[in-house]
Copies of this chain bind each other. A is one copy, B any other.
Amino acid sequence: MCGIVGVISKQPVNQLIYDALLLLQHRGQDAAGIVTMQGTKCYMHKARGMVRDVFRTRNMRALPGHVGLGQVRYPTAGNAYSEEEAQPFYVNAPFGIVLVHNGNLTNAMALKDELFDIDRRHINTESDTEVLINILAHELEMAARDLPLTPEEIFKAVGAVHQRIKGSYAVVALIAGHGLLAFRDPHGIRPLCYGVSGDGSEVMLASESVALEGTGHRFVRDIAPGEAVFITTEGQLHSQQCAKDPQLHPCMFEYVYLARPDSVIDGISVYQARLNMGETLAQRLISTMPPSEIDVVIPIPESSRPSAMQLAHKIGKPYREGFVKNRYVGRTFIMPGQSVRKKSVRQKLNAIGLEFKGRNVLLVDDSIVRGTTSKEIVQMAREAGANKVYMASAAPPVKYPNVYGIDMPTQEELIAHDRTMEEIRAYIGADALIYQDVDAMKRVVGALNPSIKGFEASCFDGTYITGDVSVADFAAMKAQRAAQPGDEEDAESRSRLALQSRSDA
């Protein structure tokens, strides 16, 4: 998962992109990068780390120009499919293209071979973004051979890209000397929207509406699934549907915990979606146990707050912030001769005894993935003096892996994979366990924008919308992994090395 942004302005854009990336920082804290363009010359700075650490005054001063794009990257460890190299990526032929990408290509490996063998393009990293930019470069070259590069050729190239690549992708690309191109996969899995400044002279593209509003832009609309938008260097906007059978299926995880509550994605307020999930969760709860057994509703900060608040309101019980989050998270250093200390939830959360002592508490989390965190939190609640500890998940059981860019463990690590509700409850040690219902969730989130026909919710329902991946594949992959030990590690270490010269902090 990542956050991306692009701007065309009449003013320098470096600070603007920086500010937008900060507003998208929750989408990725692993690396950050900005490219700006002045004349036909591009200026890049990217490095591992958070936005605040990556960009210093000298870097910002070296990012001139009125056009640019940026990205924040999520740390995805040991996952050969995911974005491992810092973005943006650059290719110099044809035209000079710089690209940022949020999503995950499911056929990146096959494409990589094609690019090397047939298109004679060198791929120097394991990043699917490098594959994507080269596919786009090749298709632009083909589309514009012996022709001037007009929006028509560009949209033709995007159409060809849609034909070749599979998976989820929201893309912003800069074509040197021409303008800013953005497009979204035919299912619109990953979000992308745009807005304009007050006087209309500035166009900003971003993963979430909060980046637009937080930088003083008026939200205009989401990019449609399969659609491409091209904004010339002069600021003229062209758009066209480039996919054959586009169908909007936004990723459910954006609403569950990924996006900021103050964003509106594909017409749905993330905050309202969470309130609604709290409401259905309350109904589920009531059908399971008498609310009178609950003394207080306590959220696990941060993203479960709206759901927990609404649930508390619904069942008429007090909502209390019984857990304090440790805002300042550090590291565990390995001293010579010491072994690694286990990372604990206790480093991140602290219970306020007053709110637990002698009470029956209902803890509400946004979702339960591995179950290990929930188990520890239940234990903390008991140690803080709780009488009974109930756990509610605002999302349904997470049973299947994600191949569309959400960082998820393998299927075997998912607590809800192959376990009954009772087994999960016993594992986490709660006195009761309440899960969101998957259909109820789709219904109440979907109700906020009736034009949406469905959601990408494969983690919950096992349906992979792009059609090229199935639950059966994962079993095969698992078998293959078992047969080739050490292979993953190699891929990882190789991929950490790229052609780009390193920033040495």
Contacts and interface: CB of A to CB of B under 8 A. Distances in A.
Interface stretch (A13-21, A99-107, A367-375): A13-21
A333 B15 contact: yes
B499 A43 contact: yes
Contacts of A57: 333-334
A17 B400 CA distance: 41
B116 A59 contact: no
B502 A503 contact: yes
A214 B323 CA distance: 13
B326 A22 contact: yes
Contact of A319 (B177, B260, B319): B319
Interface string A23-53: 1011000000101000011111111001111
A122 B178 CA distance: 12
A477 interface: no
A77 interface: no
A326 B64 CA distance: 26
A40 B494 CA distance: 11
Interface string A462-505: 00000000000000000000000000000000100111111111
A269 interface: yes
Interface in A92-122: 92-97, 116, 119-122
A260 to B, nearest CB: 6
Interface stretch (A156-164, A285-293, A344-352, A425-433): A344-352
Which of the four size classes fits the interface of chain A? 35 or more
Nearest to A216: B346
A343 to B, nearest CB: 12
Contacts of A336: 61
A59 B331 CA distance: 13
A173 interface: no
Contacts of A272: 354
Contacts of A198: none
Nearest to A302: B327
Interface string A61-104: 11010000000000000000000001000111111110000000
Contact of A502 (B45, B92, B124, B321): B45
Contacts of A25: 327-328
A453 interface: no
Given A272-B354, A326-B23, A351-B262, A122 B92 contact: yes
A12 B59 CA distance: 32
Interface string A304-318: 011001000100001
A497 B64 contact: yes
A349 to B, nearest CB: 10
A44 B95 contact: no
A25 B501 CA distance: 20
Nearest to A260: B324
B504 A271 contact: no
Nearest to A39: B494
Interface of A: 12, 14-15, 18-19, 22-23, 25-26, 33, 35, 40-47, 50-53, 55-62, 64, 86, 90-97, 116, 119-125, 134, 137, 141, 144, 176-177, 210, 213-214, 260-262, 269, 271-272, 305-306, 309, 313, 318-321, 324, 326-336, 341, 346-347, 350-352, 354, 494, 497-505
Q: Across chains A and B, which 7 residue pairs bring their CB atoms closest together, nearest first? A: A96-B122, A25-B328, A94-B120, A60-B333, A92-B122, A22-B330, A262-B324
15 contacts: A23-B328, A40-B116, A41-B124, A41-B494, A43-B497, A43-B498, A52-B329, A60-B335, A86-B501, A93-B93, A94-B121, A95-B122, A120-B141, A122-B176, A500-B501
